[in-house]
Amino acid sequence: MKSLKRSFGDSTANISSKVFIRSLKSGRVQKVVREQYLRKDISCSSQLCSACASNAAADASGNVPKPVLSRQPARTKSFPTGHYIVPDTNVLLTGIDLLEHSDAFYDVIILQTVLDELRNRSLPLYNRIMSLVKSEDKRFYLFFNEFRAETNVVREESETVNDRNDRSIRKSAGWYATHLKAAAKKNAPAIVVITNDADNRRKAEVEGIEALSLREYVSGLENADHLLDMVAEGQDRAVQGELIYPDYFTQSRVQTGLKAGVLHQGVFHVSPHNYLEGTVKVPAFDKPLLILGRESSNRSVSGDVVVVEVLSKDQWKQPSSKIIDEEAMNQNEGAEDEGEGSGPIITEGERKALQEEVKSAHHAGADRAQPTAKVVGVMKRSWRQYVGTVDASAGGGNRQQTVFLVPMDKKIPKIRMRTRQVDQLIGKRVVATIDAWDRDSRYPAGHFVRSLGGLETKEAETEALLLEFDVQYRPFPKAILDCLPSEGHNWTVPQDKSDPGWVGRKDLRELLVCSIDPPGCQDIDDALHARQLPNGNFEVGVHIADVPHFVRPNNAMDAEATSRGTTVYLVDKRIDMLPSLLGTDLCSLKPNVERYAFSTIWELTPDAEIVKADFTKSVIYSREGFSYEAAQKRVDDKSAQDDLTAGMRHLLRLSKLLRAKRMAAGALNLSSPEVRIESAETSNETGDPLADVKTKASLETNSLVEEFMLLANTTVATKIQSVFPQTALLRRHAEPPVSNFADLSDQLKRMRDMELDVSSSKALADSLDKCIDPEHPFFNTLIRILATRCMTSAEYFCSGSHAEPEFRHYGLASEIYTHFTSPIRRYADLLVHRQLAYAISYEGQGSEVVDEGLRNKNKLENVCRNLNFRHRNAQHAGRASIEYYVGQALKQRQAKMGDEGVVEDGYVMRVFENGAVIFVRKFGIEGVVRLEDFDLSPRKKSKKDQRTENEEGLITKESEFEPENYALTVFEKGKKDTTGRRIELFQEVKVRVSSEEKGGAREKGKRKVLQSLALLMTAEPTTMQGVFRDMTPLSISKLDVADSLEDSPAIAETGGGDNNTIWPPRKAPATAIAMSPTRIPASPSVLTQDKALRNKSHLYIRNFPYAAQGEDLRKFFVGHDIVSTSVPVNPRTNRAVGYHFVTFRGGADAQRAVDALSGKLVVEQEVFVQITRDS
């Protein structure tokens, strides 16, 4: 065992001390001396340097790492001897795509100072830089400049942190230059600092250090042209044009305003039907605040956290009754003439639209007016990468020009970006980011990131969808696969019962267990059994895959699963949360193999009353893997008299009783008709491609599984809450505010004279039952779909963060609820398994590793936030995938059949002044039908003629809107009597759904492939024609039965909208290098008056290697006088700061401890220890 301890002779020179004062909660003041032990053996890692090679610190296993930076780095005109790059934090933040590019940016020195700052600013970007550092081919070297004596910089009194960091970068660059000159003489490469900060560049010049802006640097590269497209806009440009947007309030004015209640903070959401209308929900107002027009939204992008000022009451108005599309409104706008200050903030068309809006405001009744507001500040941008298309109106050629990227997401404004490769980008799916939105530019400025490939190619569209919903889809790296059992698919439950795997497990292999799932399900989370007991009661078991047995806390696989949060189901692709070896094999409760499980076993009376519930880890042997349909058949088959079938019949009977009880308690039945894609891959050659799209049938056996999963989830929730009162991971569904239902209530009242009672979930459930139209059986479902959209979203939470009455799950009418039944595909369930295992004092395999996070409220809250975000995105991605599939199937069908699409039933969901939203039941999708797409022709015309007439403007349509009656009459100009067609809310209509032919004017600015899907209407009492542009399909099939309510569409829609992308927390990779303090001075140099605090030392241990295995730090300090150990959390970010923190009774004891520690830790991994003394 090699000790890390090194001697540096004169120790004082190696100690950097920082003294700071902090005030304690008690009101006392504490003086802290932080000492850092500096070293001279941190390598420059250049292959040109022999000095460092012989002197460099060895890593934990005694190996000196190979130098990273090339002997012959890239040469350019300006740097004939080659160069190493030193980027600053801002360059990492804005230029990450360039740094990752394979054509440039090799031999890069990442300074510790810069990396630390990056970690605070953006965790995802930090992770991307770390993977560059780890990958060998790009030659990124992480230089611990703060620990090396010559490059350490102490902040001066009057210096800002920023200035200090800039100085630190210059100092490191300067040291590198001198150091390499000594090593390589004339051949020494140039050290080039890249910074967009002009002031920093100026200072560098004075100090004789090469410094360039990112744009300057890239311009000097050989293949500059296509790389320049990727340089962020606005970084090195001064605002120069006319200031068309108002300035934001100063930070202090915002803070004062928020405190005084004059200003309000919330998330800005753009309406999907009107890009000029946004809303911000704030606690002070019942109704969301309306933000109308560009000037009021003042450069905020949907998802941003903004600060708003409410306008005076005379400016309040009703939400828009008009569909307004950005691409239709500003169709021929060129990106070239835009920007740099030319033109007004709103275009002529927008002005007109807004004026009409204002008019309608005046005759809006006072009761329906909504408060309006304007944005005066942006607290947090939610900018991310956006997928879209380059506006085809841009000219060709390879000169540099400015074009618009039209994002797929209609709520995001067009992004202005410069490119030299327009020709290559048109017709492609393109990824871009927003860099800035200055006051002199109508649209945000951004830059090109990459092209995903041709529009409507499966690869490009799938990747686009995953990127848009932030789904992590890259294959699992080796570090994660290494966490899997080495036996691979050959792993089996050990036959020898003395095997440690059997400790704490019950042998339930004799039970007649079976699973019931959707057809083709491979990742089987749950299985069930039931049998009658001698006393006449029933024993029912729900057996859930024992995933935590294979996924140990805090290892690489666990970290990845935390981050992914959930498995994402697309039509023809599943993006797993866990490697498939576990998901579809070792954990999957397949029939005819033994599997580890976590079982919940109840004794129920024949009336389905719970007598008792038990939990145990188990080994089960499933007898059958049924599909819902097969299970239904078996139950219905009178000739089947075996014990397994008898058990299933018990289950079915009990489930009906359970369901009746839930309904009586007020559970809502909000299930919407779900669409299922039967066999996406195999739509046969001759048949109808649309044949795969099926409405999901609901069988009794669906409900059977659902009831017992709900029961298991509720039972487990109660148990873990009793053991973890502060940190149980639960799921709640908040009661929606009554005002959410105001519109729907009014609509039902006026259109059907029906009452919606929203006083409780029970009242709502009962009144929904009464919403029946005998003529239209689908009416009731339609109302349920609309009611669901009025609700808030269900969410995971940590029990300590809400008062107990708020635990309630409104939709399920349950006082407490959690997710336990799907650990293969939901991370929440995996954590709940760990909590339950702890709660029942499970002492078998894996229990020795305790996940400390289970008892850390801050950590758990962060995990919940990520899970909620991932869960929502997974649902959206799944729906978008079905949407895309339906569009493609329609297109294929039309190509094959040569017809004009299919005629389907449609239902009017919403009526606007200039169109309507129609729900198409067959496909579970809804779309907008615009005025111009109403078919008014008395005789039957072909779609093509109709279209041509419309496009050539031969038919001018007008409409009459009756807001009070939710009705719209459309007619040819001047011919209301002869051509008028009237539609109203909830009406059933026939629609023709077709795929739009290519090449039309609409092709321009097309955002989604599916928008080319056309909706034609030809039926009584109205004939009309429409075009789908904005498809929001309603629901998708897979997902859980146990949660059908939560999977219904709109619950996800209405929730928070916290698009926090600096998430999720990952364990800091082992960035520390071999290092230990040389000496801790025996006598404190500064003394406080406070005796209690005197002589205490704190030890910060970064990347404590055993922590990953759940070891308690304390056991390394046996015999030492420890006051406490903890993992500190940054209160601002709520994230663990990456240090362990040990407090010792005395300074000398800390020294002894460190000596002991360095001896122990060296075997495992590199550790950096920093000691702080309170003196």
In the bound complex, what is the minimum distance in angstroms from residue 176's beta carbon to Zn ion? 9
Cβ at position 263, least distance to Zn ion in Å: 54
Pairing of strands 513-517, 445-454: unpaired
User: Considering the complex, what minimum distance in angstroms separates the CB of residue 46 from Zn ion?
Assistant: 6
Shorter beta-carbon distance to Zn ion: residue 109 or 417? 109
Measured from the CB of residue 172, what is the shortest distance to Zn ion in angstroms? 13
For the segment 326-365, give every residue that binds Zn ion (CB under 5 A).
Answer: none
Question: In whole angstroms, how close is the CB of 109 to Zn ion at the nearest point?
Answer: 12
Q: Is the dihedral of CA 390, 393, 396, 398 positive or negative?
A: negative
**And the tokens for 249?**
């309030």
Query: Cα–Cα distance between 1070 and 1166 in angstroms, integer?
Result: 8
Q: 1052: closest CA among 1032, 1069, 1038, 1068?
A: 1032
Q: How far is the CB of 209 from Zn ion (least distance, A)?
A: 18
Least distance from Zn ion to the Cβ atom of residue 56, Å: 8
Please identify, using beta-carbon distances, which residue of 178 and 978 lies nearer to Zn ion: 178
Cβ-based nearer residue to Zn ion, 178 or 948: 178
835: amino acid identity, one letter = Q
- Between 661 and 700, how does the x/- string for binding to Zn ion read (CB under 5 A)? ----------------------------------------
Q: Choose between 191 and 597: whose C-beta lies nearer to Zn ion.
A: 191
Looking from the CA of 991 toward its CB, the CA atoms found within 13 Å total 32
Is the Cβ of residue 49 or residue 1154 nearer to Zn ion in the bound state?
Answer: 49
In the complex, least distance from residue 16 CB atom to Zn ion, rounded to whole angstroms = 21
Q: Which is nearer to Zn ion, 47 or 566 (CB)?
A: 47
From the number of C-beta atoms within 10 Å of its C-beta (0-12, 13-18, 19+), residue 722 rates as: exposed
Nearer to Zn ion by C-beta: 36 or 45?
Answer: 45
736: DSSP letter: P
CB of residue 888 vs Zn ion: minimum separation in angstroms?
Answer: 58
CB-based contact 605:624 (threshold 8 Å): no
The crossing angle, in degrees rounded to 10, of helices 827-839 and 857-897 is: 140
Contact of 1012 with 995, CB cutoff 8 Å: yes
Map residue 475 onto helix, strand or coil: coil
- Work out how close the CB of 51 gets to Zn ion at its nearest, in angstroms, rounded to a whole number: 5
Q: Considering only residues 427-466, where is the footprint of Zn ion by CB under 5 A? A: none
Smallest distance from Zn ion to CB 55, Å: 8
Of 49 and 764, which has the nearer Cβ to Zn ion?
49
# binding residues, Zn ion (CB under 5 A): 3
Q: Which is nearer to Zn ion, 48 or 559 (CB)?
A: 48
Quick one: 306 exposed, middle or buried, by C-beta within 10 A (0-12, 13-18, 19+)? buried
Torsion-angle region of residue 436: left (phi > 0), alpha (psi -120 to 50) or beta? Answer: beta
Cα 661 from chain centre: 36
Query: Interface with Zn ion includes 1113 (CB under 5 A)?
Result: no
| CB-CB contact of 17 with 34 (8 Å) | yes
Residues ≥6 apart with Cβ < 8 Å to 1125: 1112, 1113, 1114, 1140, 1141, 1142, 1143
Q: CB 61 → Zn ion: shortest distance, Å?
A: 22
Task: Return d(Cα 3, Cα 1156) in angstroms, integer.
Answer: 10
- Catalogue the long-range contacts made by 5-12 (C-beta closer than 8 Å, 24 or more residues apart): 5/1076, 5/1078, 5/1155, 5/1158, 6/39, 6/41, 6/57, 6/1076, 6/1078, 7/1078, 8/39, 8/40, 8/1078, 11/1078, 11/1079
**190-194 and 83-87 beta bridge pairing:** parallel
DSSP state of 584: I
Nearer to Zn ion, 52 or 648 (CB): 52
Nearer Cβ to Zn ion, position 49 or 415?
49
Kindly tell me which of 180 and 604 has the beta carbon lying closer to Zn ion: 180
Closest by CA to 883, choosing from 741, 1033, 760, 765, is 1033
Q: Rounded to an integer, what distance in angstroms lies between the CA atom of residue 323 and that of residue 823?
A: 43
Sign of CA dihedral 1109, 1113, 1114, 1118: positive
Contact 736/1050 with Cβ under 8 angstroms? no
In one letter, which amino acid is 83?
H
DSSP 222-267: TTHHHHHTTSPTTSS----S---SPPPPPHHHHHHHHHHTSEEEEE
Least separation, in Å, of the C-beta of 175 and Zn ion? 10
Nearer of residues 180 and 787 to Zn ion, judged by Cβ: 180
Q: From the CB of 877, what's the least distance to Zn ion, in Å?
A: 48
Nearer to Zn ion, 49 or 92 (CB): 49
Q: How far apart are CA 1015 and CA 677, in angstroms?
A: 20
Q: Which of 239, 255, 249 is nearest to 374 (CA)?
A: 249
Q: Determine the Cα–Cα distance for residues 814 and 832; give it in Å rounded to an integer.
A: 18
User: What's the CA gap between 22 and 3, in Å, rounded?
Assistant: 35
148 vs 299 by CB, closer to Zn ion: 148
Q: Is 756 helix (H, G, I), strand (E, B) or coil?
A: coil
Of 40 and 656, the one with the shorter C-beta distance to Zn ion is 40
What part of residues 804-833 is at the interface with Zn ion (CB under 5 A)?
Answer: none
Q: Minimum Å distance from CB 269 to Zn ion?
A: 54
Whole-number minimum distance, CB 208 to Zn ion, in Å? 20
CB of 145 to Zn ion, least distance (A): 13
Q: Which of residues 35-64 bind Zn ion (CB under 5 A)?
A: 44, 49, 52
What six digits make up the tokens of 676? 């299922």
Q: Can you spell out the DSSP letters for 995-1017?
A: EPPTTSGGGTT---GGGGEEEEE
Smaller CB distance to Zn ion: residue 151 or 1172?
Answer: 151
Q: How far is the CB of 71 from Zn ion (least distance, A)?
A: 13
Where along the sequence are the contacts to Zn ion (CB under 5 A)? 44, 49, 52
